[in-house]
Amino acid sequence: MEQQKIAIIGLGYVGLPLAVEFAKKYAVVGFDILTERVQDLKNFADNTLQVPAAALETALSKKENAADKAHLFLTSDFEEIASANLYIVTVPTPIDANKKPNLNPLRSATEMIAKVLKKGDLVVYESTVYPGCTEEECVPILEKSGLQYNQDFFCGYSPERINPGDSVNTLTKIKKVTSGSTPKAAEQVDRLYKSIITAGTHMAPSIKVAEASKAIENAQRDINISFVNELALMFDRMDIDTHDVIEAASTKWNFLPFKPGLVGGHCIGVDPYYLKYKAETLGYHPAVVSSGRNVNDQMGVFVGAKLIKLMLKEGLKINQSKILILGITFKENCPDTRNTKVIDIYQELRSYNAEVDVYDPWANKEQVKKDFDIDLKESIENEKYNGIILAVGHREFKSLDFKDLSSEKVVIYDTKAIIDRSLVKGRL
């Protein structure tokens, strides 16, 4: 393992922490197609907030020489990865407008590797895919190099388990599932990750099993949340607070106290569609997985419409009112806006011709403008609103004075159940 030179393809939420950690022990080249991203990282600035500037500076300041081969080199020139003998792919695997897998980033990364692939090289995928994808989609592209799978080159799969914004369950502290295309490759992949993952590893019996394990991790959570979201939809019609019900039910030892909420992000809101897609290609329609997605996908619209109904009930005219949405990231204390369901709330409110402000101290304003055509508020100081939705539980919002933000007549809706209950008209 001391002779390994590792190329990490994709320097986002998953790839960057991995590159920095491996660079403590190996020569690592980190590649990303976004030249601005690479330049920012070279200046020790990570806008995902996954890696502190000091850790970046330490990794990048090491020089490759006889005394110290462990270092990190960053580039957006794919020819710079040609000297690697182990490639790790961490590119996004999103869904398209029809909620089908979009494998274009994965295919593009694999095509790039195929151009520089050498005999004896190992290619490991961390990107979340459906079971069978690595060998059905990626291996044929790699074989365009003229090399033969499992004779000239080998593959592995080790699903990422990065939790954006989590400073406790970090890369090295989460047990890693590993796998390889042959027993020898599997051992090599496992040894590699075991060298940096202090929590240990679990070697799956095949690449397909490892792929499936990642898919069901998030599908299971999606289904559990969809159950309480469906309860919230039902209890809303019964005029019952869902959180009160959960609190009461939680007094039983084996009750699982999941909370209702918006289910977005790059994992839970996406991965079940990959599992569903693969099952349907084999002639099976997964009813439970599909139902969970259907429920969770409607929650943003429900929240927006519920605020409108509550405002009308209070006698407020929507087109003469100002509404504030607090938060647009997909989760709290994190700048990640990928697949955020808060946009569904925004669009629902705008469909009523409401004037809507969005404030989020964590989100990147330029990225939000590019992705959603929304101009985030720089500040909400001295502003007054008739409708307020707490959509994301950022720590800054827990100390807000909602009375200062409120007009004489106001409706506050809390999707996270963290605001003083006496101030809110409704909770998810």
Catalytic residue annotation: 267
Residues 176, 201 contacting (CB under 8 angstroms): yes
What is residue 123's three-state secondary structure? strand
**Residue 304 tokens, joined:** 């927006």
**Residue 14 tokens, joined:** 């998953």
- What are the CA-CA distances from residue 85 to residues 32, 110, 345 (Å)? 18, 14, 47
Q: Report which of 217, 118, 115, 111 is spatially closest to residue 160, judged by C-alpha positions.
A: 217
Q: Report which of 122, 42, 116 is spatially closest to residue 89, judged by C-alpha positions.
A: 122
Handedness of CA 308, 314, 316, 322 (dihedral sign): negative
Q: In which order are the strands placed within the sheet that holds 154-157?
A: 71-75, 27-31, 5-9, 86-89, 122-125, 154-157
Burial class (CB in 10 A: 0-12, 13-18, 19+), 125: buried
What H or E segment, with its residue span, contains residue 107? helix 104-116
What is residue 153's three-state secondary structure? strand
What is residue 398's three-state secondary structure? helix
What H or E segment, with its residue span, contains residue 355? strand 355-359
- What are the CA-CA distances from residue 195 to residues 4, 21, 181, 269, 387 (Å)? 12, 10, 20, 31, 52
What are the respective helix, strand and coil percentages of the chain, to the nearest 5?
40, 15, 45
E strands of 127-219, at which residues?
154-157, 176-178, 201-203
What H or E segment, with its residue span, contains residue 390? strand 385-390
Strands 355-359, 154-157: pairing kind = unpaired
CA dihedral 71, 74, 77, 82 (to 10 degrees): 20
